[in-house]
Amino acid sequence: MLALRGLLVAATLLATPVADPGPAAEAEAAFLLAVKRTRGPRTGDLFTLPNPYNFVSELGYDDEDFSHIPGRGLLRQHGTYHSTSWRYDKRVPLVFYGPGRVPAGRRLAAPATHQDLPATYAWLMHTLPPRDCGGRVLREAFGAAAAPPRVILTIVIDQGGRTLLAAHPGAYPHVAALMAGGTDFSNAESTALETETVPGHVGIGTGSWPGKSGTAANDFYASGLGTKQYFFTAETAHSPFWIETPTLADAWLRETHNRAIVIGQSHADRAAIGMVGHGSAYVGNAKPIVVFYDTHSGHLETNPSYYALPPYLADLDSGAYMRKFTGGTGRWMEHDIANADAVRRSPVLVELEGDAFARMIDHEPIGQDDVCDLLYVSFKSSDAVGHHYGYESEEAGAVLTAIDRQVDRLVKAVQAKAGAAHTLVVLTADHGATPLPELSGGSRLRDTDLLARINQRFRSPQPGRPAAIYATTGQIWLDRQVLAALHVTTMQVAGFVRTIKVDGKPFYRLVVL
C-alpha cells in the first residue's frame, strides 16, 4: 500500500462524469412520501434529506483506501454511502423473466417498487398477500393467464441500482440478456426513506412500508436499551424479532402446511432473513433454509433456533476460495483480501455463494410438485465493494461481472430442475449508490461530528446525557426531555440542522419533523 502512495492521483472533478441526481422536486417529493410511510415508534425525531452527493458517514464507512477508476488510474478516497431519495440512490432494476409467461423485450414506464413483489407473487400463486402488504399487483408484466409457477427465484444485486449498471455497461452480459428477454420496469424505485439493505430486503419479503414492518434503516436507537441497535439482533444474534409484520414466505409456509420449499441466502443476515422472515418463530412453521456468512470463520452459518443450514454446505470455506483465486498471494487488484472479512469486497465470496446456492438447487426437491417454492438470493459483495471502492471503480465492475456469471448459472440450474415453463425469475436491487465525493464534489459528514455540532449548540444540563443521541443519513434521534429542560423545541433543532455547512456548502436540503 505504501509503495502505491506515489502513484495515486488527485481527483479532477470536472473530468469524471457522475450520476444524475435527478430534479430536486422529484427527490423532495419522494423524501416526503417516504417520511410519511416510515414514521413510527422506532424512527428518529428529525428526518433529513442531504443535498445531492452528500451523505452522513458512519464510522467504518470512511476509511482511506485507493480505487482503480477507469481512465483515471489510482484514486485515493474514503469510501461512500447511500440512503437518500436522490435518483442515483433510489433507481433500481425490476425485471420479470419467464419464457411463455412473461413477454420478452418490454420496458414499462409504470411505477414499481419492492413492495409490489409480494403482492404480485401472491396473485400468481392464487393466494392472499401477507398482512400489511402495501404494494400493487404488477399485472402488466405478464402475458396470457398461466398456471401458478412452481418456483419463483428472486435475485437481488445489492447496491446494484441503475447507477452501477450504467457505470459498467459491458460487465453484465447475462443480466442484460435476462433484462432483454423479459419485462423491465424502467422506472422502478426503492421508495424507502433510507435506501439501505434492511428496508430494501424487508420490503421484498413483506411488501409492507417501513412504518408497518418497523424496519426503517439498518440500525436504530432503542430508547428502552439506551443504545444503538442493529435490526437483526434481539434476543439472539441473527434474530427476526424486530420485523413487525409477516413475509410472504411466513404466510405461505403456514398455508401450505410446510410443503413449500423456502430458501434465503446472502452473505448478510439482514438480507437473507429480511426476505424470508421469521422462520419457525412464526407459529406452525417449520424451519426454512436461511444461509448467511460468518466474517470470522469464513464459513456459512444460520440461526439454528429458527432456520435450517444444510449439512452439505459445511465444507465451503472462503479461505480456500481466496487462496485459489489469488494464487496464494492473498491479493487482488493490489488489495489485501487475505481474511474472511475482506473477501466480501472481491469476486471471491460471489463464487462461494454461487456454489452454495447451486448445491441447494441440486439437493432440494425444488419445483417437483404444484406447491410454489420461494427462492431468494442476494449477492451483497457488490454493496461491500461499492462502499469501500465506489461503484465507479474497476473493483466494482469486476464484482458485477462475477455476479453476472452466477446469475446465469443459477437461473439455468433452477430452470433445469423445475422446467423453464414452471419458473419465474425476478431480478432487482435493494438500492442504488452515491458517487464517491472525490469525484462528485459532494461532502461526507461523519455521524459523530453531526451529533457534536448539535450538542455544542444545545448543551445538555446533565453530563453524559446529550440532546442529540444518534444519527443516520436520513434520521436524527433527540432526547426530548433534555430539550424540554433547555426550553428548546424540535423545530428549533431542525432549524439549526438545516443551517449546517460542510466544506463551506449547505449540507442539507430538507429537515422535517
Distance CA 339, CA 54 (A): 31
Return the sign of the alpha-carbon dihedral for residues 38, 42, 45, 47.
negative
Residue 76 clears pLDDT 80, i.e. is over it: yes
Determine the pLDDT at residue 299: 98
What is the separation of C-alpha 213 from the centre of its chain, rounded to a whole number of angstroms?
A: 16
Distance CA 92, CA 112 (A): 10
Mean pLDDT, to the nearest integer, of 397-407?
Answer: 98
Beta bridge partners of 265: 291, 377
* pLDDT per residue as tens digits for the range 246-301: 999 999 999 999 999 999 999 999 999 999 999 999 999 999 999 999 999 999 99
Contact 251, 223 (CB under 8 A): no
Q: Which of 242, 312, 325 is nearest to 277 (CA)?
A: 242
Determine the pLDDT at residue 146: 76
Determine the pLDDT at residue 61: 76
* Domains with residue ranges and CATH for the chain: 2-74+444-512 (no CATH), 87-435 (3.40.720.10)
Percent of the chain with pLDDT over 70: 96
Q: In terms of DSSP H, where are the helices of 102-196?
A: 116-124, 162-167, 173-180
Rg, Å, the chain Cα set: 22
* pLDDT per residue as tens digits for the range 426-482: 999 999 999 999 999 999 999 999 999 999 999 999 999 999 999 999 999 999 999
Distance CA 83, CA 49 (A): 9
Determine the pLDDT at residue 315: 98
Beta bridge partners of 459: none
* pLDDT per residue as tens digits for the range 101-111: 999 999 999 99
Residue 353 clears pLDDT 80, i.e. is over it: yes
Distance CA 365, CA 157 (A): 25
* Measured CA distances, 457 to 138, 219, 454, 466 (Å): 49, 25, 5, 11
Distance CA 86, CA 421 (A): 38
Dihedral in degrees, nearest 10, Cα atoms 445, 388, 271, 140? 90
For residue 11, give the amino acid letter: A
Residue 4 clears pLDDT 90, i.e. is over it: no
pLDDT class for 509, splitting at 50, 70, 90? very high
* pLDDT per residue as tens digits for the range 52-70: 999 999 877 788 999 999 9
Determine the pLDDT at residue 374: 99
Across 343-356, b (16+ Cβ under 10 Å) vs e yields bbbbbbbbbbbbeb
Contact 397, 175 (CB under 8 A): no
Determine the pLDDT at residue 63: 84
| 3-state class (DSSP) for residue 206 | helix
| Mean pLDDT, rounded, of the chain | 95
Match 429480511 to its residue by C-alpha cell: 274
Q: At what angle do helices 248-255 and 116-124 cross, to 10 degrees?
A: 20
Which triple of cell numbers denotes residue 70? 477507469
Determine the pLDDT at residue 143: 83
pLDDT class for 10, splitting at 50, 70, 90? very low
Residue 15 clears pLDDT 60, i.e. is over it: no
| 3-state class (DSSP) for residue 288 | coil
CB-based contacts of 282: which residues, under 8 Å, 6+ apart? 246, 250, 253, 254
Q: Can you give the pTM of this predicted structure?
A: 0.96
Return the sign of the alpha-carbon dihedral for residues 247, 251, 254, 257.
negative
Which triple of cell numbers denotes residue 158? 445489492
* Measured CA distances, 293 to 44, 265, 298, 313, 344 (Å): 30, 9, 7, 11, 10
Distance CA 78, CA 64 (A): 4
Residue 11 clears pLDDT 50, i.e. is over it: no
* pLDDT per residue as tens digits for the range 204-228: 999 999 999 999 999 999 999 999 9
Determine the pLDDT at residue 5: 34
Residue 6 clears pLDDT 70, i.e. is over it: no
Residue 68 backbone dihedrals phi, psi, to 5 degrees: -95, 115
Which three-class secondary structure string do you get for 417-440? HHCHHHEEEEEECCCCCCCCHHHH
Residue 391 clears pLDDT 80, i.e. is over it: yes
